[in-house]
Amino acid sequence: MAHVTIQEQFFRIPPVTRWYTTACVLTTILTHLDLVTPFQLYYNPSLIFRKFQVWRLLSTFLYFGSFGFNFLFNLIFTYRYCRMLEENHYHGKTADFLCMFIFGGILMCITGVFVQILFLGQAFTIMLVYVWARRNPLVRMNFFGLFNFQAPYLPWVLLGFSLLLGNSVAVDVLGIAIGHIYYYLEDVFPRQPGGFRVLKTPWILKYLFDQRVEERYEPLPEERPGGFQWGQDVPNQPNQPGNDDEPR
């Protein structure tokens, strides 16, 4: 019965979030068991284009490091904000969500050539957090009981946290920059005078994925809009991107 319950909970997670976070966990397990090594996973354009190790285009987004605080921190944030985006802003629009993944991944791979970041998973997480935060500007959050702030400041709070821990902030800056580019092209520019939607989801993705939407899926109450467990919701939170009263 316990196994059935876990299985049911697993398949209640929306599909993109479910398989992305599962792939991240499995990648870490494989490295922990020494079946693969981080040297086989990191982003290296030379090995990709000269030796055709094309799997590195994906594996660089799946590895958050060995089991420990950094892995757990990134995995929780990835799962939380990826899920909230998918089940609120992209519910029934799996293809559009995948298009966001592809757009962000391509920009990060191009930028990674110049900034020499070996693993792009953390930057991808920050991108998801940034987009969610900009689309939920009225959500109030609390950082470990230290201070309160509005959701749009969350990516910058995380950047400051990385700085305090002595980590490089280049990854956070990359995630924020690409998250802002996506948010501007998808939510801001199309609503400007003379604007139009720049990012259009290919029909093949809509054909493959949007016809397979889990119609009976209902978000868990604790997973509805509201930030991480350190935060609290604000009533009448707008749920749709590009709301007219949303700050630009």
Tokens of 122: 């953390």
Task: Mark the ranges of the chain whose per-residue pLDDT is less than 50.
Answer: 1, 213-217, 220-248
Q: Could you tell me if 131 and 179 are in contact, meaning their C-beta atoms sit under 8 angstroms apart?
A: yes
Tokens of 66: 């060995």
Which CATH class for the 2-223 domain?
A: mainly alpha
Residue 5: φ, ψ to 5°: -65, -45
For the chain, the domains span: 2-223
* pTM of the predicted model as reported, rounded to 2 decimal places: 0.81
Alpha helices by DSSP H, listed for 119-220, are: 121-135, 154-164, 170-183, 203-209
Tokens of 248: 């630009």
What was the pLDDT predicted at 233? 42
E-only strand ranges, the chain? 140-142, 148-150
